[in-house]
Amino acid sequence: MNNCLKWQYLLYISVLVFLSVLLRGAYDYHSHNHKLQQEIVQLGDQALIYHQDLQQSLIERYLTLTHHYANEQHVQRAFKQGDREALYAYSNPDYQRLQQDNPDLHVMHYFDPQNITLLRLHQPNNFGDDLTDYRPIVRDANQSKTALQGFEVGKNGITYRITTPLINQAGEHFGLLEFGIRPNYFVERLAARFELESMILVKTRSLGKLINDYQFDTLDNYSIIQNTDFFDSLNSSIDLSVERARLTVEGRHYLLLTDLDQSSHQGELVAKVVVAKDITDLVYANQMELIRANLVNLVVLLLLLAVIYYMFNRYSVALARSARALDDLSRIQDKLKNQANTDELTGLYNRRFFNLELKNLIQCQQTGCLLFFDIDHFKVLNDTYGHPAGDRVLMELGNMMRHFFRQDDLLVRWGGEEFAVFIKHIPTKVVLQKVEAFRVYVEENITQHQPYPVTISGGVTNVRAGDDVASLIERADQRLYQAKQSGRNRIVSAFDEN
């Protein structure tokens, strides 16, 4: 039998070790996946921050240049005189230099305060057109006299516009200077920084007449302005509502970012730069790290199982012997505790235990009521029918108390024919009905089991502020005495209504 028990325990331990391996593997899998996800999120955040930094650097650069032009006398004079040739002669060298520095600078455009083109450096012969209705950023910048930035479709395509009022040191507003940078500027720098595949999408409804001049492939409600070969086969699997997703293409893993939004100066989404970053090496490195961690865990746990087997095999007999001794001791302690706290005849709690429990309940400010009662004419019953008959009545009364009162109530044989019940959590308005019902219950039912009538008399009171065990019991005992003096077979109460 001992040998069977030993192998049974060893089987349990083996199962626990196996479950430990599984749980550790699951934990490592979750931990490494969480780490991989954090690295992916960090990569996406870096791309987004870099994209925002690119926009901010453009704004700072061209705002500084515009401020210089606004305070240049040649520019102010050309605007006042409407001298396009002088403005072109002064600005074109800067435009050429800026284009050499940034080939994606496509637009350098002067407007007068009424939104009419004074000079396009990129198309010098195209001027005089009113763009109030066609170019909201121009209209709003002139009206608010505030520098505005955002993506907007013009007559020659979509560009990132930095549109700045020309305001000289005297506070005179005499026009606008706008720079336009192709979206390629952002795509190329993102690709160079993060080695990305890219695609440029523009809201189809934002293209205006350009939709009639060019044929574009579409994705959802966007037109594909530019993309690499990588995206040709992926269009149907791209969900633009998911800002960051993982894709597997021909065994390679990619992080797809669709949250590089290009908004107008009014905050309206105009275009998107969709990029895909090859994260295969990152995924494989994470998988190899996970495999190594699980192998180490498995070896350690197998060694642990071997050690446990050796120790268990050596001490199993001692463990079984100790377990039996502990069981015997526990049973003895339970029996002694039960004997110390209960009345041997009725099985109810005894007076000593009741006093301790009642003290604790009062100190904890337990609400409730104490019923103190005894059996009427019990001495006569003993003298007439004998002490065995009296014992049967006491045992029957204990059974009735357990049946009538709640499990949480404290049921006590106080001594001889005297009993007590502490009824917890009961309003004083209800307790008298309950104890009266118990008196009737005893009177009507105990005679069904005994050949002689038995009644009880009692006193009931509630716990009051400042009570201790002695004062509470004394008050209930006084009411019991009154019940005896007034004819027995009744309950007398003393409640503190406050």
Instruction: In whole angstroms, give the CA distance from residue 133 to residue 372.
Output: 97
Token pair of 68 as six digits: 């210089």
Give the CA distances from residue 434 to residues 355, 358, 428, in Å, rounded to whole numbers and listed in that order.
23, 20, 10
Q: Are 138 and 117 a contacting pair, CB within 8 Å? A: no
Q: Are 191 and 198 a contacting pair, CB within 8 Å? A: yes
Instruction: In whole angstroms, give the CA distance from residue 39 to residue 442.
Output: 77
Catalytic annotation present for 474: no
308-314 own/partner pairs: CB under 8 Å, 24+ apart: 308/13, 308/17, 309/10, 309/13, 312/6, 312/9, 312/10, 312/13, 313/6
Token pair of 340 as six digits: 């110390």
Instruction: Please give the angle made by the CA atoms of 312, 317 and 318, to the nearest 5 degrees.
Output: 90
**Residues 6 or more apart from 103 whose CB is under 8 A from it?**
none
The side-by-side arrangement of strands in the sheet containing 117-120 is 117-120, 105-111, 173-181, 157-167, 148-154
Burial of 343 (0-12, 13-18, 19+ CB in 10 A): buried
Q: Name 253's bridge partners.
A: 248
Q: Are 165 and 145 a contacting pair, CB within 8 Å? A: yes
* Torsion sign across C-alpha atoms 300, 303, 305, 307: negative
**Catalytic position from the list 243, 417, 436, 497:** 417
The side-by-side arrangement of strands in the sheet containing 217-219 is 217-219, 222-227, 196-203, 269-278, 252-263, 244-249
* Torsion sign across C-alpha atoms 124, 128, 131, 133: negative
Q: Are 361 and 425 a contacting pair, CB within 8 Å? A: no
Which residues are the active-site residues? Answer: 417
